Amino acid sequence: QVQLVESGGGLVQPGGSLRLSCAASGFTFRLYDMSWYRQAPGKDRELVAVITSGDGRTNYADSVKGRFTISRDNAKNTVYLQMNGLKPEDTAVYYCKAARTRFYWGQGTQVTVSS
Contact 92, 83 (CB under 8 A): no
What pLDDT sits at residue 23? 98
Query: Could you report the per-residue pLDDT of 6-59, keeping only the tens digit for each?
Result: 999 999 999 999 999 999 999 999 999 999 999 999 999 999 999 999 899 999
Cα–Cα distance between 8 and 99 in angstroms, integer?
Answer: 22
Amino acid 54: pLDDT: 84
pLDDT tens for 54-87 read 899 999 999 999 999 999 999 999 999 999 999 9
Residue 25's closest CA among 98, 81, 93?
98
